[in-house]
Amino acid sequence: MKAIIVTDQAAGTAGMQLTERPEPEAGINDVVVQVHASGFTWDELTWPSTWTDRQGNDRTPSIPGHELAGVVTALGYGTTGLSVGQRVFGVTDWYRNGTLTEYVAVEARNLAPLPGDVDFTVGASLPMPGLTAWQGLFEHGHLRAGQSVLVHGAAGVVGSMATQLAREHGAYVIGTGRAAHRQMALDFGAQEFVDLESDALEDVGGVDLVFDVFGGGIARRSAGLIRAGGTLVTIAGPIDARPANGMTVDFVVEPDRAQLREIVQRVRDGRLRTHIGNIAMLDDAVATFNGTKRHHGKTIIRVRP
Ligand SMILES: NC(=O)c1ccc[n+]([C@@H]2O[C@H](COP(=O)([O-])OP(=O)(O)OC[C@H]3O[C@@H](n4cnc5c(N)ncnc54)[C@H](OP(=O)(O)O)[C@@H]3O)[C@@H](O)[C@H]2O)c1
Protein backbone atom coordinates (compact mmCIF):
# COMPACT_ATOMS: atom_id res chain seq x y z
CA MET A 1 0.00 0.00 0.00
CA LYS A 2 1.06 3.61 -0.47
CA ALA A 3 2.09 5.43 2.70
CA ILE A 4 3.89 8.57 3.78
CA ILE A 5 6.71 7.77 6.16
CA VAL A 6 9.12 9.80 8.26
CA THR A 7 12.53 8.62 9.47
CA ASP A 8 14.47 11.81 10.22
CA GLN A 9 13.21 13.95 13.10
CA ALA A 10 15.50 16.88 12.27
CA ALA A 11 14.19 17.11 8.69
CA GLY A 12 10.57 18.01 9.63
CA THR A 13 8.07 17.76 6.77
CA ALA A 14 10.96 17.91 4.25
CA GLY A 15 11.82 14.36 5.38
CA MET A 16 8.39 12.96 4.43
CA GLN A 17 8.51 10.29 1.71
CA LEU A 18 5.73 8.60 -0.25
CA THR A 19 6.60 4.91 -0.39
CA GLU A 20 5.19 1.35 -0.29
CA ARG A 21 4.51 -0.33 3.07
CA PRO A 22 2.94 -3.69 3.95
CA GLU A 23 -0.78 -3.59 4.72
CA PRO A 24 -1.49 -3.80 8.47
CA GLU A 25 -3.37 -6.67 10.10
CA ALA A 26 -6.04 -6.27 12.74
CA GLY A 27 -4.68 -7.10 16.22
CA ILE A 28 -6.82 -7.79 19.29
CA ASN A 29 -9.44 -4.99 19.57
CA ASP A 30 -8.37 -3.54 16.20
CA VAL A 31 -10.21 -2.95 13.00
CA VAL A 32 -8.50 -2.26 9.69
CA VAL A 33 -9.85 0.83 7.97
CA GLN A 34 -9.46 1.72 4.31
CA VAL A 35 -8.60 5.39 4.67
CA HIS A 36 -10.58 7.78 2.47
CA ALA A 37 -9.38 10.99 4.12
CA SER A 38 -6.62 11.69 6.65
CA GLY A 39 -6.15 14.64 9.00
CA PHE A 40 -2.70 15.93 9.93
CA THR A 41 -1.96 18.32 12.83
CA TRP A 42 0.66 20.83 11.68
CA ASP A 43 3.19 20.16 14.48
CA GLU A 44 2.84 16.35 14.69
CA LEU A 45 6.44 15.83 13.65
CA THR A 46 7.52 17.50 16.91
CA TRP A 47 5.55 15.01 19.04
CA PRO A 48 7.82 12.39 20.70
CA SER A 49 5.23 9.71 19.86
CA THR A 50 5.93 10.18 16.15
CA TRP A 51 9.47 8.89 16.73
CA THR A 52 9.51 6.46 19.65
CA ASP A 53 7.28 3.83 21.24
CA ARG A 54 6.09 4.10 24.85
CA GLN A 55 9.42 2.68 26.10
CA GLY A 56 11.32 5.36 24.21
CA ASN A 57 12.61 2.97 21.50
CA ASP A 58 12.94 4.24 17.92
CA ARG A 59 9.82 3.25 15.99
CA THR A 60 10.70 4.80 12.62
CA PRO A 61 9.83 4.60 9.81
CA SER A 62 6.53 5.84 11.18
CA ILE A 63 3.42 6.93 9.33
CA PRO A 64 2.08 10.30 10.56
CA GLY A 65 -1.52 11.58 10.45
CA HIS A 66 -3.77 10.67 13.37
CA GLU A 67 -7.28 11.42 12.17
CA LEU A 68 -9.22 9.47 9.61
CA ALA A 69 -12.48 8.86 7.89
CA GLY A 70 -12.90 5.66 5.92
CA VAL A 71 -14.49 2.23 5.67
CA VAL A 72 -13.87 -0.82 7.88
CA THR A 73 -12.34 -3.70 5.87
CA ALA A 74 -11.41 -6.22 8.61
CA LEU A 75 -12.21 -6.93 12.25
CA GLY A 76 -9.91 -8.28 14.95
CA TYR A 77 -11.14 -9.98 18.11
CA GLY A 78 -13.18 -7.75 20.42
CA THR A 79 -14.16 -4.96 18.03
CA THR A 80 -17.46 -4.16 19.67
CA GLY A 81 -19.90 -2.06 17.74
CA LEU A 82 -18.32 -1.99 14.28
CA SER A 83 -18.76 -4.10 11.19
CA VAL A 84 -17.04 -4.65 7.84
CA GLY A 85 -18.18 -2.09 5.26
CA GLN A 86 -19.12 0.50 7.89
CA ARG A 87 -18.17 4.16 7.42
CA VAL A 88 -16.19 5.38 10.43
CA PHE A 89 -14.16 8.33 11.68
CA GLY A 90 -11.87 8.90 14.63
CA VAL A 91 -8.30 9.12 15.89
CA THR A 92 -5.44 6.64 15.86
CA ASP A 93 -3.04 5.96 18.73
CA TRP A 94 -0.20 8.50 18.77
CA TYR A 95 2.33 5.68 19.25
CA ARG A 96 1.18 3.58 16.30
CA ASN A 97 1.30 4.11 12.56
CA GLY A 98 -1.18 6.74 11.46
CA THR A 99 -3.45 7.57 8.58
CA LEU A 100 -1.40 9.08 5.72
CA THR A 101 -1.78 5.76 3.97
CA GLU A 102 -4.32 3.48 2.32
CA TYR A 103 -5.04 1.15 5.28
CA VAL A 104 -4.56 1.55 9.03
CA ALA A 105 -5.07 -0.76 12.01
CA VAL A 106 -6.83 1.11 14.81
CA GLU A 107 -8.54 0.14 18.03
CA ALA A 108 -12.29 -0.03 17.52
CA ARG A 109 -12.92 2.18 20.58
CA ASN A 110 -11.09 5.04 18.80
CA LEU A 111 -13.77 5.15 16.11
CA ALA A 112 -17.41 6.13 15.74
CA PRO A 113 -19.81 5.57 12.86
CA LEU A 114 -19.68 8.31 10.23
CA PRO A 115 -23.22 9.10 9.03
CA GLY A 116 -23.76 8.64 5.30
CA ASP A 117 -24.51 12.33 4.73
CA VAL A 118 -21.16 13.49 6.16
CA ASP A 119 -18.36 13.65 3.63
CA PHE A 120 -15.12 11.76 4.40
CA THR A 121 -13.16 15.03 4.17
CA VAL A 122 -15.33 16.61 6.85
CA GLY A 123 -15.21 13.40 8.92
CA ALA A 124 -11.39 13.40 8.95
CA SER A 125 -11.27 17.04 10.05
CA LEU A 126 -13.40 16.61 13.18
CA PRO A 127 -11.84 14.14 15.62
CA MET A 128 -8.80 15.98 17.07
CA PRO A 129 -10.22 19.49 17.25
CA GLY A 130 -13.71 18.29 18.16
CA LEU A 131 -12.67 15.95 20.97
CA THR A 132 -9.99 18.33 22.26
CA ALA A 133 -12.40 21.25 22.46
CA TRP A 134 -15.15 19.11 24.01
CA GLN A 135 -12.92 17.58 26.66
CA GLY A 136 -11.17 20.86 27.47
CA LEU A 137 -14.39 22.82 27.92
CA PHE A 138 -16.71 20.28 29.48
CA GLU A 139 -14.69 17.46 31.11
CA HIS A 140 -11.70 19.44 32.39
CA GLY A 141 -13.09 22.99 32.41
CA HIS A 142 -16.59 22.08 33.69
CA LEU A 143 -17.97 25.01 31.69
CA ARG A 144 -21.49 26.07 32.60
CA ALA A 145 -23.97 28.28 30.77
CA GLY A 146 -23.55 31.92 31.75
CA GLN A 147 -19.84 31.58 32.48
CA SER A 148 -17.17 33.41 30.53
CA VAL A 149 -14.36 31.67 28.68
CA LEU A 150 -11.22 33.04 27.08
CA VAL A 151 -10.36 30.88 24.04
CA HIS A 152 -6.83 31.37 22.76
CA GLY A 153 -6.19 30.88 19.04
CA ALA A 154 -9.93 31.21 18.39
CA ALA A 155 -9.49 31.26 14.61
CA GLY A 156 -7.28 28.15 14.71
CA VAL A 157 -8.31 24.54 14.22
CA VAL A 158 -8.91 23.64 17.87
CA GLY A 159 -9.79 27.17 19.00
CA SER A 160 -12.54 27.57 16.41
CA MET A 161 -14.19 24.36 17.68
CA ALA A 162 -13.86 25.48 21.29
CA THR A 163 -15.36 28.86 20.42
CA GLN A 164 -18.40 27.31 18.74
CA LEU A 165 -19.02 24.64 21.39
CA ALA A 166 -18.65 27.10 24.26
CA ARG A 167 -21.01 29.57 22.62
CA GLU A 168 -23.62 26.91 21.90
CA HIS A 169 -23.35 25.85 25.56
CA GLY A 170 -24.40 29.35 26.61
CA ALA A 171 -21.03 30.74 27.63
CA TYR A 172 -19.72 34.24 26.92
CA VAL A 173 -16.74 33.73 24.61
CA ILE A 174 -13.72 35.99 24.29
CA GLY A 175 -11.45 34.81 21.48
CA THR A 176 -7.80 35.71 20.94
CA GLY A 177 -5.37 35.56 18.05
CA ARG A 178 -3.54 37.78 15.61
CA ALA A 179 -5.08 41.02 14.30
CA ALA A 180 -5.91 39.32 10.98
CA HIS A 181 -7.98 36.65 12.80
CA ARG A 182 -10.52 39.01 14.34
CA GLN A 183 -13.34 38.57 11.82
CA MET A 184 -12.87 34.82 11.59
CA ALA A 185 -13.01 34.41 15.37
CA LEU A 186 -16.18 36.54 15.52
CA ASP A 187 -17.68 34.47 12.69
CA PHE A 188 -17.04 31.30 14.71
CA GLY A 189 -19.04 32.87 17.54
CA ALA A 190 -16.65 34.83 19.75
CA GLN A 191 -18.43 37.83 21.28
CA GLU A 192 -15.19 39.75 21.85
CA PHE A 193 -11.74 39.46 20.37
CA VAL A 194 -8.32 40.25 21.81
CA ASP A 195 -5.55 40.86 19.29
CA LEU A 196 -2.56 39.41 21.14
CA GLU A 197 -0.20 41.43 18.96
CA SER A 198 -1.49 44.83 20.07
CA ASP A 199 -4.33 44.64 22.65
CA ALA A 200 -3.69 44.24 26.38
CA LEU A 201 -4.83 40.80 27.49
CA GLU A 202 -5.23 42.19 31.00
CA ASP A 203 -8.07 44.47 29.78
CA VAL A 204 -10.29 41.39 29.44
CA GLY A 205 -11.02 41.49 33.18
CA GLY A 206 -12.08 38.30 34.96
CA VAL A 207 -13.05 35.02 33.27
CA ASP A 208 -14.20 31.65 34.64
CA LEU A 209 -12.22 29.50 32.22
CA VAL A 210 -9.21 29.88 29.95
CA PHE A 211 -8.84 27.42 27.06
CA ASP A 212 -5.15 27.69 26.18
CA VAL A 213 -3.41 26.36 23.07
CA PHE A 214 -0.11 28.29 23.44
CA GLY A 215 1.45 27.70 26.89
CA GLY A 216 4.40 29.95 27.84
CA GLY A 217 3.96 33.62 28.66
CA ILE A 218 0.43 33.87 27.26
CA ALA A 219 -0.75 31.06 29.55
CA ARG A 220 1.00 32.66 32.53
CA ARG A 221 -0.64 36.04 31.90
CA SER A 222 -4.01 34.35 31.35
CA ALA A 223 -3.82 32.65 34.75
CA GLY A 224 -4.04 36.11 36.32
CA LEU A 225 -7.43 36.71 34.68
CA ILE A 226 -9.15 33.70 36.23
CA ARG A 227 -11.80 34.32 38.87
CA ALA A 228 -11.84 32.44 42.17
CA GLY A 229 -12.73 28.79 41.57
CA GLY A 230 -11.96 29.02 37.83
CA THR A 231 -9.72 26.85 35.67
CA LEU A 232 -6.88 27.22 33.21
CA VAL A 233 -7.10 24.34 30.76
CA THR A 234 -4.18 23.92 28.40
CA ILE A 235 -3.38 21.60 25.51
CA ALA A 236 0.18 22.91 25.18
CA GLY A 237 1.74 20.51 27.71
CA PRO A 238 2.59 20.90 31.39
CA ILE A 239 2.93 24.53 32.48
CA ASP A 240 3.77 26.24 35.75
CA ALA A 241 1.03 28.91 35.37
CA ARG A 242 -1.56 28.68 38.19
CA PRO A 243 -4.58 30.87 38.89
CA ALA A 244 -4.30 32.38 42.39
CA ASN A 245 -7.50 30.68 43.52
CA GLY A 246 -8.26 28.01 40.96
CA MET A 247 -6.59 25.16 39.16
CA THR A 248 -4.62 24.34 36.04
CA VAL A 249 -5.31 21.23 33.97
CA ASP A 250 -3.13 20.12 31.09
CA PHE A 251 -4.36 17.18 29.10
CA VAL A 252 -3.93 15.16 25.94
CA VAL A 253 -7.10 14.37 24.03
CA GLU A 254 -8.54 10.86 24.40
CA PRO A 255 -10.65 8.87 21.98
CA ASP A 256 -14.35 8.85 22.87
CA ARG A 257 -17.03 7.32 20.67
CA ALA A 258 -19.95 9.01 22.41
CA GLN A 259 -18.35 12.44 22.09
CA LEU A 260 -17.57 11.82 18.40
CA ARG A 261 -21.28 11.09 17.90
CA GLU A 262 -22.22 14.35 19.62
CA ILE A 263 -19.75 16.30 17.51
CA VAL A 264 -20.80 14.86 14.16
CA GLN A 265 -24.48 15.33 15.02
CA ARG A 266 -23.83 19.04 15.56
CA VAL A 267 -22.18 19.23 12.15
CA ARG A 268 -25.19 17.56 10.54
CA ASP A 269 -27.53 19.98 12.32
CA GLY A 270 -25.53 22.97 11.11
CA ARG A 271 -24.61 23.88 14.70
CA LEU A 272 -20.87 23.23 14.25
CA ARG A 273 -18.60 24.06 11.38
CA THR A 274 -15.24 22.45 10.76
CA HIS A 275 -12.20 24.54 9.86
CA ILE A 276 -10.55 22.90 6.84
CA GLY A 277 -7.60 24.62 5.16
CA ASN A 278 -5.93 22.78 2.34
CA ILE A 279 -7.16 19.55 0.71
CA ALA A 280 -4.75 17.46 -1.38
CA MET A 281 -4.43 13.90 -2.69
CA LEU A 282 -1.98 11.44 -1.10
CA ASP A 283 0.28 11.56 -4.17
CA ASP A 284 0.60 15.34 -3.71
CA ALA A 285 0.73 15.36 0.08
CA VAL A 286 4.50 15.71 0.53
CA ALA A 287 4.55 18.70 -1.81
CA THR A 288 1.52 20.15 -0.01
CA PHE A 289 3.12 19.89 3.42
CA ASN A 290 6.27 21.53 2.04
CA GLY A 291 4.55 24.24 -0.01
CA THR A 292 5.37 27.87 0.57
CA LYS A 293 1.78 29.03 0.81
CA ARG A 294 0.57 29.19 4.43
CA HIS A 295 -2.86 27.61 4.83
CA HIS A 296 -5.04 28.26 7.83
CA GLY A 297 -7.23 25.44 9.02
CA LYS A 298 -6.79 21.69 9.03
CA THR A 299 -4.92 20.04 6.19
CA ILE A 300 -6.85 17.06 4.85
CA ILE A 301 -5.25 14.48 2.61
CA ARG A 302 -7.67 12.53 0.42
CA VAL A 303 -6.45 8.97 0.00
CA ARG A 304 -9.30 7.88 -2.26
CA PRO A 305 -10.90 10.32 -4.70
N1 LIG B 1 -3.01 18.29 24.03
C2 LIG B 1 -3.81 17.88 23.06
O3 LIG B 1 -4.56 16.94 23.24
C4 LIG B 1 -3.83 18.59 21.73
C5 LIG B 1 -4.86 18.30 20.83
C6 LIG B 1 -4.91 18.99 19.60
C7 LIG B 1 -3.93 19.94 19.32
N8 LIG B 1 -2.93 20.16 20.23
C9 LIG B 1 -1.90 21.20 19.97
O10 LIG B 1 -2.56 22.46 20.06
C11 LIG B 1 -1.84 23.39 19.25
C12 LIG B 1 -2.84 24.15 18.38
O13 LIG B 1 -3.32 23.28 17.36
P14 LIG B 1 -4.22 23.83 16.19
O15 LIG B 1 -4.37 22.68 15.25
O16 LIG B 1 -5.45 24.48 16.74
O17 LIG B 1 -3.25 24.95 15.56
P18 LIG B 1 -3.65 26.23 14.70
O19 LIG B 1 -4.77 25.93 13.78
O20 LIG B 1 -2.37 26.76 14.11
O21 LIG B 1 -4.21 27.27 15.79
C22 LIG B 1 -3.45 28.18 16.50
C23 LIG B 1 -4.00 29.58 16.21
O24 LIG B 1 -3.34 30.52 17.04
C25 LIG B 1 -2.69 31.49 16.21
N26 LIG B 1 -1.44 31.90 16.85
C27 LIG B 1 -0.29 31.19 16.94
N28 LIG B 1 0.64 31.90 17.64
C29 LIG B 1 0.04 33.07 17.96
C30 LIG B 1 0.48 34.23 18.68
N31 LIG B 1 1.72 34.32 19.18
N32 LIG B 1 -0.37 35.26 18.84
C33 LIG B 1 -1.63 35.19 18.34
N34 LIG B 1 -2.10 34.13 17.65
C35 LIG B 1 -1.26 33.09 17.46
C36 LIG B 1 -2.45 30.79 14.91
O37 LIG B 1 -2.27 31.72 13.89
P38 LIG B 1 -1.16 31.51 12.73
O39 LIG B 1 -1.66 30.34 11.94
O40 LIG B 1 -1.19 32.80 11.99
O41 LIG B 1 0.14 31.22 13.45
C42 LIG B 1 -3.75 30.01 14.77
O43 LIG B 1 -4.82 30.81 14.33
C44 LIG B 1 -0.82 22.58 18.47
O45 LIG B 1 0.43 22.71 19.10
C46 LIG B 1 -1.32 21.14 18.57
O47 LIG B 1 -0.31 20.18 18.51
C48 LIG B 1 -2.86 19.53 21.43
The domain that holds 111 is classified in CATH as: 3.90.180.10
Going by CA atoms, what residue is nearest to atom 4 of ligand 1?
Answer: 235
Give the per-residue pLDDT at 73: 98
114 Cα–ligand 1 center, Å: 26
**Which atom number of ligand 1 is nearest to the Cα of residue 218?**
31
Pocket test for ligand 1, best of 158, 165, 298 (most atoms within 8 A of CB): 158
Q: Are 211 and 156 in a shared domain?
A: yes
Task: Write out the residue range of the structural domain in which residue 43 sits.
Answer: 2-126+274-302
Q: Are 33 and 145 in a shared domain?
A: no
Residue % of the chain over a pLDDT of 90 = 96
- pLDDT average, residue stretch 208-218: 97
Q: Is residue 184 part of a domain?
A: yes
- pLDDT average, residue stretch 295-304: 93
20 Cα–ligand 1 center, Å: 32
**Which atom number of ligand 1 is nearest to the Cα of residue 251?**
1
Give the per-residue pLDDT at 292: 72
Residue 2's SS3 state is: strand
213 Cα–ligand 1 center, Å: 6
Q: Are 98 and 139 in a shared domain?
A: no
Among 207, 254, 265, which Cα is nearest to 231's?
207
201 Cα–ligand 1 center, Å: 18
Among 248, 212, 78, which Cα is nearest to 133's?
212
Q: Is residue 177 part of a domain?
A: yes
Q: Are 7 and 120 in a shared domain?
A: yes
Q: Is residue 222 part of a domain?
A: yes
Q: What is the residue-averaged pLDDT of the chain?
A: 96
Confidence check: pLDDT of 80 > 80? yes
Among 299, 304, 301, 297, which Cα is nearest to 273's?
297
Q: Are 234 and 245 in a shared domain?
A: yes
140 Cα–ligand 1 center, Å: 19
Q: Are 22 and 138 in a shared domain?
A: no
Give the per-residue pLDDT at 291: 84
Give the per-residue pLDDT at 254: 98
Q: Say how many domains are in the chain.
A: 2
**Which atom number of ligand 1 is nearest to the Cα of residue 155?**
43
CATH number at residue 233: 3.40.50.720
- pLDDT average, residue stretch 32-61: 96
Q: Are 9 and 116 in a shared domain?
A: yes
Give the per-residue pLDDT at 252: 97
pLDDT band for position 90 (50/70/90)? very high
Q: Is residue 255 part of a domain?
A: no
Q: Are 55 and 137 in a shared domain?
A: no
Tell me the sheet residues that pair with 233.
Answer: 211, 249
Q: Is residue 260 part of a domain?
A: no
Q: What pLDDT, in 10s, does the model give residues 241-273?
A: 999 999 999 999 999 999 999 999 999 999 999
Distance, in Å, from the CA atom of 247 to the CA atom of 152, rounded to the nearest integer, reads 18
Q: Is residue 264 part of a domain?
A: no
Confidence check: pLDDT of 153 > 80? yes
Pairing outcome for strands 298-302 and 276-281: parallel
- pLDDT average, residue stretch 35-47: 95
**Which atom number of ligand 1 is nearest to the Cα of residue 153?**
24
Give the per-residue pLDDT at 295: 72
Q: Are 61 and 143 in a shared domain?
A: no
Give the per-residue pLDDT at 203: 92
270 Cα–ligand 1 center, Å: 24
Confidence check: pLDDT of 294 > 80? no
Q: Are 143 and 213 in a shared domain?
A: yes
Going by CA atoms, what residue is nearest to atom 11 of ligand 1?
Answer: 213
Q: What pLDDT, in 10s, does the model give residues 120-129?
A: 999 999 999 9
Give the per-residue pLDDT at 26: 97
Q: Are 109 and 62 in a shared domain?
A: yes
- pLDDT average, residue stretch 162-167: 98
79 Cα–ligand 1 center, Å: 34
**Which atom number of ligand 1 is nearest to the Cα of residue 252?**
3
- pLDDT average, residue stretch 223-229: 97
Confidence check: pLDDT of 89 > 80? yes
Confidence check: pLDDT of 293 > 80? no
DSSP H helical segments within the chain, as ranges?
Answer: 120-125, 127-134, 157-168, 182-187, 216-223, 257-268, 285-289
Q: Are 201 and 238 in a shared domain?
A: yes
Q: Is residue 268 part of a domain?
A: no
Q: Is residue 166 part of a domain?
A: yes
pLDDT band for position 21 (50/70/90)? very high
Q: Give ligand 1 pocket residues (Cβ under 6 A).
A: 41-43, 128, 132, 153, 155-159, 177-178, 181, 196, 213, 235, 252-253, 296
10 Cα–ligand 1 center, Å: 21
pLDDT band for position 210 (50/70/90)? very high
